[in-house]
A and B are shown apart, each in its own frame.
Chain A
């Protein structure tokens, strides 16, 4: 099957490629793909697969995307499928929701989720609640996507994390990919999902390359929404995180491993529905929990996870109170030294792990 796919992809050089593969028995052709390219490819493939899928947002077409995530798509698909909007979020988000109600499958891009606040009524009241209010008559198959959370030096109005705000609302699915594989598989699932999905990307992750196996590169590779992934196995403590903070957790885990502390790092992948079972299973093994998020502490992702654990079967397995590592409870400052100290650093995770383990 792999060789057949290879043949179809390679065109002219197919025969030699196939022969080469069979002869030398090379391992599956993994490639390095950035998160940006993974998102781009996922959208490209879904646009090709289903004519009802289209993309709208500011600068998505002729500018190739403010962060180049939609590069090349307008050239390929044209004005009908890739639409540049004026700077009018409330309006175009509403238009996107209406189009979804009438049978299309829009991808509505917010240049950053900070600007989604201008349109949040359409996301919550028009998209999220409608299937329920209509008792199943009217579905809204829409994806709202864009970068979320802190970037670098963009100050208070451009750095907020909206995971907790959107995660709060029934009727919405909320997804937060970390790796290129996550980005690809989750975006495809989001686009194919018949419900409103808020897809929280991260600007600082766009340029980060990840190895992508051949299986992940396949056009029908999907990651189910609502299932977390264990990125690193460990026995001593469970670290739960989403998006860019997963990178920090893995870095902290590497440092801690040198001291004999083995962390299990869970990449949430989905905020809502929360994969509490994965977290509980892990806690039953490690007996300790630290959550890590970039957003503010109050009423946040960590707060929710800790509440779930308190109420569920894993509580009795905890040997110490579960703890949250979060952004500092302030608007994001501009100056580098202040910004660096406003979000979790690796040392904060290490510190919290050691305090929890009492070492």
Chain B
């Protein structure tokens, strides 16, 4: 018999949560119900398998261009979503497949977008870095550009008065961008309901944090913005911190900054083997000691909240879902050629678009 719910005392990566300009932080204990646990497990496992399948398809050249994989960081995406509502808003950079999933996308339409098919979430026109859903603003290719965008979404939230907020994510590499500091300033001045989240996976492409940042205390870099630093490999830590941050924003106190310490198993992208600037031992160590899925699994098993067989069954279901999605993604046809010039303008009458030469006139509808 499984417990319906269990009080789980949360380890905060062996140290307490680090606070900046905050009197108190998120609670040190969290309730995890069996239902929640199983759902988090399933979602993280789905993300993991989806990314690994993308790796495979990329190596088979069925996925092209850029492909930045998220495996290792699952607790961040799932934990954040668990701390907000679907009616809240979220924006991130290019390592975005997992967020597309938590924000309402299906594995099928994500994978079909990666393979560039008409059933893709952006009809095949965006690719890996440009996936969108309701209240999810991508998927952004230019490092740091998504941060002012996120604050802008937060401005709209405040303006429209619906008690919504915006989660605005960026990486340790982006954290040094000037536009982020411009955004901190305005978000703070105008008390925008914006949770800035730095996913610190220790490397900006091939450059370690020590070589890129004069201060690697990313949770303090907001200066006048209160901040907290949290173990991004522990999904409960992420969830509780997000809830705490959301409460801060919704109470009208303005923005808050969260640093999630996390790790990516893959290189920066599929064209980066990921071992020229870090050791295989380091990667292996994180996998064996801090894997977010393993940690949740162990916690659930040791608290008698699920059985090994149950979790194995979820694994099997997830595997099947990924296989089905991959099957769809590899057999769905490419977009039709007459979609080439569509979606240039919104709410516009149909117009003519110049093709590659003056005799080729193509059609564009909104």
A interface with B by C-beta (< 8 Å): 58-59, 62-63, 66, 84, 86-88, 90-91, 114-115, 117-118, 151-158, 297-298, 323-331, 333-338, 341-345, 348, 351-352, 355
Contact = CB atoms under 8 A, between A and B. Distances in A.
Given A86-B176, A341-B340, A336 B212 contact: no
B149 to A, nearest CB: 13
Nearest to A63: B206
Contacts of A342: 340
B127 A334 contact: yes
B212 A154 contact: no
A333 B127 CA distance: 8
Given A87-B174, A328-B355, A338 B335 contact: yes
Contact of B64 (A86, A90, A153, A325): A153
Contacts of A117: 142
Contact of B206 (A59, A115, A158, A323): A59
Contacts of A345: 356
Contacts of B337: 337-338, 341
Nearest to A330: B341
Interface stretch (B28-36, B42-50, B319-327, B357-365): B357-365
A59 B116 contact: no
Contacts of B26: none
A115 B204 CA distance: 16
B357 A336 contact: no
Interface of B: 64-66, 113, 116-117, 120, 122, 124-130, 140-144, 173-174, 176-178, 204-207, 211-213, 276-277, 334-335, 337, 339-341, 344, 353-360, 362, 364
Contacts of A328: 340-341, 353-356, 362
A87 B177 contact: yes
Contacts of A336: 64, 116, 334
> Does more than half of chain B's interface fall in helix, strand or loop, or is it mixed?
loop
Contact of A59 (B205, B340, B354): B205
A155 B94 CA distance: 12
Nearest 7 interchain pairs by C-beta: A153-B65, A334-B127, A153-B64, A335-B116, A335-B124, A157-B141, A63-B206
A91 B178 CA distance: 8
A114 B142 contact: yes
B124 A155 contact: no
A335 B117 contact: yes
Contacts of B344: 330-331
Given A59-B207, A88-B178, 9 more contacts: A58-B207, A63-B206, A87-B173, A324-B357, A328-B340, A328-B341, A333-B335, A335-B116, A337-B337
